[in-house]
């Protein structure tokens, strides 16, 4: 699917537009959900890059970023926040 413009009722129509590695449908605004006691859930069309500007390995469109510090898959969440009893509210 292309990320360009608004798709018709049957979905994205043409082959024009930038190639995308993940099925992203139409371009959509990025939303970040701060999950209580858990990760930041990021949806929409965004790029995740390292300090060197290179895109980080990513296999899914929506990702959960660790904000508890305990994940061994950083920057992604691996569910460790549940074991450490991380609290997002003071």
Partner 1 sequence: MKQPSARGDVSALVLATIAATVESAQDGLARLGAVTRAAVAGTPDILHDDDLQLALFCLYELHYSGIDGAGDDWEWNPDLLRVRQCIEAAFEARVRDEVDLGDLPGTTSEAVCAELFRLTGDDSGPSMSRFVSKSASNDQLREFLVHKAVYQLKEADPHTFAIPRLTGRSKAALVEIQADEYGNGLPARMHSALFARTMRELGMDDTYGAYLDVTPAITLASNNLMSLFGLNRRLRGAIVGHLAAYEMTSSQPNRLYSRGFKRHGYGENATEYFDEHVEADAVHEQIAGRDMAGGLVEEDPRLLPDVLFGAAAGLAVDTLMTRHIMDAWESGGSSLRRSEAMAS
- Least Cβ distance, residue 41 to partner 1 (angstroms): 5
CA atoms of 67 and 30, how far apart (whole Å)? 18
Identity of the residue, 63 or 66, whose beta carbon is nearer to ligand FES in the bound complex: 66
63 is a contact residue toward ligand FES (CB under 6 A): no
DSSP type of residue 6: -
**86 in Cβ contact with 71 (< 8 Å):** no
Q: Which of 47, 71, 75, 89 binds ligand FES (CB under 6 A)?
A: 71
Q: Take residue 19 and report the two structure tokens written for it.
A: 């190639």
Q: Which is nearer to partner 1, 12 or 38 (CB)?
A: 38
């Amino acid at each position: 699917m292309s990320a360009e413009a608004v798709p018709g009722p049957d979905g994205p129509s043409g082959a024009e537009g930038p190639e995308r590695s993940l099925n992203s449908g139409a371009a959509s605004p990025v939303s970040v959900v701060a999950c209580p006691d858990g990760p930041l859930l990021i949806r929409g069309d965004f790029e995740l890059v390292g300090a060197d500007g290179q895109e980080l390995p990513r296999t899914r469109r929506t990702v959960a970023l660790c904000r508890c510090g305990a994940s061994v898959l950083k920057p992604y969440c691996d569910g460790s926040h549940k074991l450490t009893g991380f609290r997002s509210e003071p």
